[in-house]
Amino acid sequence: LDPYGKKCILSNVPISAVRGFRTTLFRKSRWSSQSSRSKRKFGPVDTQFEGVKVESGPIQFSKLWKPLGFTALISSGSFVCAAIWQYENVRARAIALIRKPGSLIHDRVYGVRKQGSWRNDVNTWWNGLSEGHRFFFPICFANCLVFLAWRVPRLQGTMVRYFCSNPASRAVCWPMVLSTFSHYSGLHLLANMFVLHSFSSGAVASLGKEQFLGLYISAGVISTMSSYLHKAVIKQPGLSLGASGAIMGVLGYVCTQYPDTRLSIIFLPFFSFPAGAAIKVIMTIDAAGVLLGWRFFDHAAHLGGAAFGIAWSYWGNAYIWQKREPLLRWWHDLRDGSTK
């Protein structure tokens, strides 16, 4: 590999397509038949990154209990943290209103003045954004940092190990989260961030920034778990990375919650279609990809993320998020007790 190039070929190991629209990180190789697949010996495989090996081996369902438990922990924990974060935000605003009535309204209308003209310009621009777009930029920044980290040769071993999900790896849990923020190809990053930017305003307006973050993180982890299960079924290890599993969760929620919203393709703005039909078509394509063994995308991860977003739209928001009062009461009592 040229570390500064655009392609990395892992010889001798089949690589799953990424969870994204396109990337040139790994070029897949196929085994000729099921019989040759069963006879193949597994072990660490050299990559074109100097000194970097990819762990490869048979994926047993018994080895998936750990990532399954991690998925449940991160998914539930993300919504618990989101609920507590929302409580703290509401509490802080209430205290500010009591101490300085009208200050929040003044700050929202006029913004907080900063020293220096450029800081005032940035502050004016920031205050003019929707809450969804203000929440989008930190996520985009984190993805860009990881994208740049891929370009540092000394970090490539860490990136392959922890920022690519691989069910055959010894590091099988944390990559389920970290790979959601990982892109090697600039086109892959650009496409995912464009879609997230397009849907973040509507999703945050509907859910609030706290619940949106819980949905995003949970969809990312659940999409990776779906990819692990699919690879275990077909008995073919591989690497995946990208934010599109999490983005598909957002897409599934928005398209289900607002099915009559008209969407269009960036290169065909004159052609529009309802969001409800769009998510059905996307999931049908991904289902076909899973059944037919297409390898360009990680279709199983897409399906897992979208299914979670749809489920959250129908049941999660009503039967989980809206039932968080006991948690908030417990946190309120714990917080008050700790401050006495």
Structure tokens at 325: 């009062």
Report d(CA 270, CA 276) in Å as an integer.
18
Structure tokens at 230: 């699919």
User: Can 244 be counted among the known catalytic residues?
Assistant: yes
Report d(CA 172, CA 228) in Å as an integer.
10
Select which of 302, 313, 332, 338 is catalytic. 302
Residue 320 dihedral angles phi and psi, to the nearest 5°: -120, -60
Q: Is 23 helix (H, G, I), strand (E, B) or coil?
A: coil
DSSP conformational letter for 179: G
Q: Which amino acid is at 81?
A: C
In this structure, are residues 131 and 209 in contact, taking their beta carbons and an 8 Å threshold? yes
Question: Nearest-CA neighbor of 212 among 199, 221, 227, 226?
Answer: 199
Rg (CA), the chain: 22
User: Can 117 be counted among the known catalytic residues?
Assistant: no
In this structure, are residues 215 and 249 in contact, taking their beta carbons and an 8 Å threshold? yes
Q: Which amino acid is at 231?
A: K
DSSP conformational letter for 222: H
Instruction: Decide: residue 206, CB within 10 A, 0-12 exposed, 13-18 middle, 19+ buried.
Output: middle
Structure tokens at 53: 């090996």
Select which of 16, 244, 299, 313 is catalytic. 244
Report H helices in the chain: 34-39, 65-99, 103-110, 117-127, 131-149, 156-162, 174-178, 186-207, 209-234, 244-257, 275-292, 299-311, 317-319, 325-339
Catalytic residues: 244, 302
